[in-house]
Structure 1
């Protein structure tokens, strides 16, 4: 006799059918309010999520005046966006700025944005530890924005994932989580602002709250009072950028002897025709470049992603300023010193054959797996970490120190 199916869904199927919420409280499980695996499964590049108390009791490590001071420094990437509500006109200015201008700024409707603040402030950089469930090479920077009351950068859309952490004050966010949001831009402003914006959700964020947005979700944030917002943005190269760099790499390394060949050529039935055989030979010529070689592809990507969108360069110190010899440096490391990684030094690694490749700002280095993993993940190298490296690993670290990727920090002394 056939078993009759239940008219009611099972508990597991009901759970699967229930859509994940768009708002959670993370007080008991910061910063996501759930295990990272669940967040990546249900939200990452799929749907927005408002996370209340992502950082419970959060206190901003910097103040608005600190950000204004940073925006005046040479080498920082900073912008001011101001909005004239009466004319719906937007003004964009690029820094660095003169510090004397800030006391004369209006009391409302403007925003200061500074990129790569994590490269300048170690307390901001430390926030990235909370995002270690993501590959570190995937994270671009922490942008910090100060907004006067009413300050905004307009309704816009990003093509990368972003976590918007409210650090000080309050900001009202609206998003369009609809299936087919309008993404046409206005043609009357310098900024890429949306021509139409139809919000489906609205929240007021207070310090410690965080909004996650996948790529392509229109959003608009307006300061309720003077506030700071930290934007943790991802690196998301376009397919065109990936293809362009890969092809350039293949072309630069290609043997000039690899050419289109047709030793099996038959008499042409039509001298102007590009036939199927010609296309097959063209594909064969391209395949000689080994575009689908996993190791070659992996090496290219490792170099590309550790160089992509680097805001600053790592420069070697002049020989006269290099200071200690290698023997002296190793003695220092044995007695409490440490090598601190340069904030613009990007590292990643991958397995390659029986060993590994360490990628540092577009350069690749052969190392044992344990060494590559240790160096790539370490913000700094102390004596114990250095001693645990193989001879090849210690040689590589010394070379990176000479190239400027590390500075020697000795307790009680300034870094060299």
Structure 2
């Protein structure tokens, strides 16, 4: 006999609500999360949103609106302006670079300027990223900064990646729909992917230092209460199609031409025009011979893939290319340092077999190194003479190679002080 499920009483529902982690917390005593990272990852990461009041107590923006406007005029910067005509509910999207002369003539309200990868352009913005070291660094994509005039917004939308929305200046009202299975259909009449229907379950106003964490798939809508700056720390979350496409391209480029469809067991067909089951089995067998069964090959593919930025520019050899190694090492001994290029993305992976070298991945390239060297270089945005001397010979060779390729630049002591 099937047992009927027990009825849920109001008292049970109150008990369940009391047991659920809070959706709002004050982090002043333990910034930036207000809790140990392990608890945040267990209870919130990719599970539920969290409003973190005072994530950065007393926060002062390292960037001003005019700085962002200037950056949006750069050819290499990725920038957009979104304007909302509230009377007709029309949205306009324009892509930069923009002319500096047009910003003074912008409307007093209802527009937003967004610039991607600001951490690659501004070292003070990049200095925020170590606060997020409770996550793998290679998972962090960029810091996007937006300036919004009063009423400025990009509309109700949904992201397919985790994001931390840090209020830097002014106040922004954030509304989210944290209910299960919210409607996710898009409006057909706008270039932006805006939600056709948005019914908020929570409504907050964030001030400087407050931060909102949103896992993938949570509808949200932010509107500037007054002129404000918001920093969006977004995660790299490649789609399955993106992973598969790059994986298949790698398999195809590295495939042995001798691996082909073969039918040594061929028998006379009942119908020569039929693709029979045996033929399909042989096709599957040919594809299976291409599979990347070696975990090290698979790890190399992923390491190269994930250290390539989606949008930022490519690293090019710099002015240090013609400098001799003796000169470089002489300068390092006297206070110079190797500073990593802001577009150079690094990660490392330990060897699976005892005695085998670890792997350092740099912007899509792989280097075999002792584990201590791979770990040090992956974590060294700045490598001084002491750090360089601590590397093995192979590690120093790699550092010089990366310098010559543009992934580092040599900064003399007085130059670094000026920077």
Matched, 1:52 2:53: yes
Matched, 1:265 2:266: yes
CA 1:170–1:339: 2 relative to 1, 3 Å: same
Does the 8 Å CA contact 1:310/1:344 hold for their aligned counterparts?
no
Does the 8 Å CA contact 1:186/1:192 hold for their aligned counterparts?
yes
Look up the match of 2:389: 387
Residue 15 of structure 1: CA displacement? 9.9
Residue 323 of structure 1: CA displacement? 5.5
Quick one: distance in 2 between partners of 1:17 and 1:218? 24
CA 1:17–1:293: 2 relative to 1, 3 Å: farther
Residue 296 of structure 1: CA displacement? 1.2
Residue 336 of structure 1: CA displacement? 1.0
Quick one: distance in 2 between partners of 1:397 and 1:344? 16
Does the 8 Å CA contact 1:160/1:233 hold for their aligned counterparts?
yes
Residue 17 of structure 1: CA displacement? 7.9
Residue 294 of structure 1: CA displacement? 1.0
Matched, 1:345 2:358: no
CA-to-partner distance for each residue in 1:301-358, whole Å, 9 max, x for gaps? 111111141411100026xx64532111111111111000000000111123421111
CA 1:89–1:15: 2 relative to 1, 3 Å: closer
Look up the match of 1:237: 238
Quick one: distance in 2 between partners of 1:275 and 1:222? 60
Quick one: distance in 2 between partners of 1:160 and 1:98? 31
CA-to-partner distance for each residue in 1:14-41, whole Å, 9 max, x for gaps? 8998111111111111111111111111
Quick one: distance in 2 between partners of 1:340 and 1:308? 19
Matched, 1:409 2:411: yes
Does the 8 Å CA contact 1:316/1:403 hold for their aligned counterparts?
yes
**Structure 1 consecutive aligned stretches of length 4 or more whose deviation exceeds 4 Å:** 14-17
Does the 8 Å CA contact 1:338/1:381 hold for their aligned counterparts?
yes
Quick one: distance in 2 between partners of 1:273 and 1:178? 52
Look up the match of 2:224: 223
Quick one: distance in 2 between partners of 1:116 and 1:228? 15
CA-to-partner distance for each residue in 1:145-178, whole Å, 9 max, x for gaps? 0000000000001111000000000000000111
Matched, 1:185 2:182: no
Quick one: distance in 2 between partners of 1:200 and 1:21? 14
Secondary structure of the 2:395 match is: helix
Residue 411 of structure 1: CA displacement? 1.4
Look up the match of 1:8: none
Look up the match of 2:80: 79
Q: How does 1:21-40 map to 2 (within 5 A)?
A: 21-40=22-41
Look up the match of 1:324: 323
Quick one: distance in 2 between partners of 1:153 and 1:292? 44
CA 1:276–1:16: 2 relative to 1, 3 Å: farther
Does the 8 Å CA contact 2:34/2:55 hold for their aligned counterparts?
yes
Quick one: distance in 2 between partners of 1:281 and 1:296? 25
Residue 127 of structure 1: CA displacement? 0.2
Quick one: distance in 2 between partners of 1:362 and 1:148? 39
Does the 8 Å CA contact 2:113/2:146 hold for their aligned counterparts?
yes
Secondary structure of the 2:143 match is: strand
Look up the match of 1:333: 332
Quick one: distance in 2 between partners of 1:78 and 1:310? 12
Does the 8 Å CA contact 1:358/1:367 hold for their aligned counterparts?
yes
Q: How does 1:61-100 map to 2 (within 5 A)?
A: 61-100=62-101
Residue 219 of structure 1: CA displacement? 0.3
List alignment gaps of at least 5 residues for structure 2.
Answer: 1-14
TM-score, normalization by structure 1: 0.93
Does the 8 Å CA contact 2:27/2:53 hold for their aligned counterparts?
yes
RMSD: 1.7
Does the 8 Å CA contact 2:187/2:195 hold for their aligned counterparts?
yes
Look up the match of 2:160: 159
Quick one: distance in 2 between partners of 1:62 and 1:235? 24
List alignment gaps of at least 5 residues for structure 1.
Answer: 1-13
Quick one: distance in 2 between partners of 1:109 and 1:19? 37
